[in-house]
Amino acid sequence: MNINENYTKLEESYLFSTVAKKVSEFAEKNPDKKIIKLGIGDVTLPLCSVVVDALHKAVDEMGVQATFRGYGPEQGYDFLREAVKNYYKTHNVELDMDEIFISDGAKSDLGNILDLFAGDNTVLVPDPVYPVYVDTNVMAGRKVIFANANQDNEFLPLPDESQKADIIYICSPNNPTGAVYNKEQLKKWVDYAKSMNAIILFDAAYECFISDDSLPKSIFEIEGAKDCAIEFCSLSKTAGFTGTRCGYTVVPKALGKLNKFWLRRQTTKFNGVPYIVQRGAAAVFSEEGQKEIKENINYYKENARVISDTLTKCGIWHVGGKHSPYIWLKCPNNMTSWDFFDYLLENIQVVGTPGAGFGKNGEGYFRLTSFGSKENTQEAMQRFEMLFGTK
């Protein structure tokens, strides 16, 4: 038996597991200290009421012979795919039902999609970015190259014709920097991908945070994207489904074999998202659901404003937080990301995510999330002001 030695090329633990371990060690040694977690992008507001009602109703259906359901369609029930299709229409994207695949979240599908691609493809990943893109390709032994994101390009790298790539990851609004591509910039990526016969894997997990109608929420708003892109989305951040688990992936039929292969992959390796969860997810797309989730998103956006205002007062350089739940800041006094992490934990017990965990260009930066409660966010920012003073 030979094991997959590619795993030895990974960091010993996943970024957010390392952060969680450090925090729990600190908590054990300092039981009297109140730790405020603005690290992992996990939501704190409960599911909205229409979703809860739909979940209850579905549970009841499952307890009655006439409405009980066993295995469902692996690609998702029609009622939810129809709701997703109609949601896309609101940003002028027409999809066919068999281009939409319901999943248990974007993270799983972003990893699973790699089943469709040969091992010798070169993968282009922005740096810094969500660590799952690099890790899942390292696990498969693929060559990974990077598109540098930095302050000079406002953390929005554009294609470099001299780089040859087969698989290209784009995350917009970006995790961790909060930067958002406009339509012209995304068109450049689409043209580049087509010129290379490459595929774009577009992570739209934070699209609901975009509040400027001119910014694209889906790569399929860009002409030609259906010929070269797969899109991943999730209800985790949109509707508080981090624990409930539901998302969707769009594989256009224009991609030829890939659409059929994905169906083949899913029907073989996946038994679908639970009926109960899909009913809850469908409620998110109802009129009332959309109204309720917007209130939650605005709550998080207000937290982002509080964080941003405090950082400004403290003279700390930062971006993000406008079309994204993440604020990306430069560590004061040229501290490294992990030094700053320890410094905040030791001194004010505020937890964030070290930028270095998102790639080498993240070194010296730090991410705060606006997904905390209003009270905790305000308290964390009062502690920031105490530590850094007002400039």
Footprint of ligand MLT on this chain (CB under 6 A)?
40-42, 107, 130, 175
Residue 367 backbone phi and psi in degrees, to 5: -115, 135
Q: Least Å distance between CB 283 and ligand MLT?
A: 22
Residue 319 C-beta: closest distance to ligand MLT, Å: 16
- Residue 23: phi and psi, rounded to 5, are -70, -40
C-beta of 124 vs 205, nearer to ligand MLT: 205
Comparison of 146 and 232: residue with beta carbon closer to ligand MLT: 232
In the complex with ligand MLT, the residue whose CB is nearer, 132 or 381, is 132
Q: Give residues with Cβ within 8 angstroms of 31, minimum separation 6.
A: none
Cα 337-236-28 angle, rounded to 5 deg: 50
User: In angstroms, what is the minimal distance from the CB of 359 to ligand MLT?
Assistant: 13
Smallest distance from the beta carbon of 41 to ligand MLT, in angstroms? 3
Query: CB of 248 within 8 A of CB of 76?
Result: yes
Residue 31: CB atoms within 10 Å: 6
Q: Given the complex with ligand MLT, which of 171 and 381 has the nearer CB atom?
A: 171
- Nearest distance from C-beta of residue 353 to ligand MLT, angstroms: 6
By the 10 Å C-beta count (0-12 exposed, 13-18 middle, 19+ buried), 378 is classed as: middle
Cis peptide before 252 (omega within 30 of 0): no
Q: For residue 249, what are the β-bridge partners? A: 101, 232
Integer Rg of the chain from CA: 21
Q: How far is the CB of 156 from ligand MLT (least distance, A)?
A: 18
Q: Smaller CB distance to ligand MLT: residue 226 or 237?
A: 237
Both tokens of residue 123?
A: 């993968």
In this complex, which beta carbon is closest to ligand MLT, that of residue 17 or of residue 382? 17
Nearer to ligand MLT, 110 or 229 (CB): 110
**Neighbour count for residue 294 (Cβ, 10 Å):** 13
Assess contact for 141 and 148: CB atoms under 8 A: no
CB 388 within 8 A of CB 332: yes
Question: Please, what is the minimum distance in Å from the beta carbon of residue 237 to ligand MLT?
Answer: 7
